[in-house]
Amino acid sequence: MLSQGYFRDPYNNWDVLWQFGLSWWTDVIPMLDQEARLSVPQAERLLQMLRDREGTFEERVEAIRAEEQAYFRRRSVELRAFLNQAIALDEPIDCSL
């Protein structure tokens, strides 16, 4: 289960979404349906939000240590891959926030 179709982002200093200037609580939760799922159109919207904030991500990540930069760059790739997989499969994402 954890090797495919799963993404976890801690809500602390290691939260990759924060590096984009976004919040799971403020930005993503309002996008969920009544069953706490992120629909495919909303996953596409979130992916676009990440693209739109690429400059913010780069600015924030460039200001931290190299090891941390590598971590956040890797997590950014993983998050985008996760969203793209859901979109390609035309499957909503079950969320636990």
The enclosing H or E element of 55 equals: helix 54-62
Chain centroid to Cα 8, Å, comes to 9
Distances from the Cα of 41 to the Cα of 8, 86, 91, 97, angstroms: 20, 10, 10, 19
State the pLDDT at residue 4: 65
Chain centroid to Cα 83, Å, comes to 8
What pTM was estimated for this model as a whole?
0.91
Over residues 21-35, the pLDDT tens digits come to 999 999 999 999 999
Confidence of residue 2 (pLDDT cuts 50, 70, 90): very low
Give the separation between CA 7 and CA 3, rounded to whole angstroms. Answer: 9
Domain locations along the chain: 16-94
CB 38 within 8 A of CB 28: yes
Beta strand spans in the chain (E): 37-38, 93-94
Over residues 50-86, the pLDDT tens digits come to 999 999 999 999 999 999 999 999 999 999 999 999 9
Quote the radius of gyration of the chain (alpha carbons, Å): 13
Confidence of residue 10 (pLDDT cuts 50, 70, 90): confident
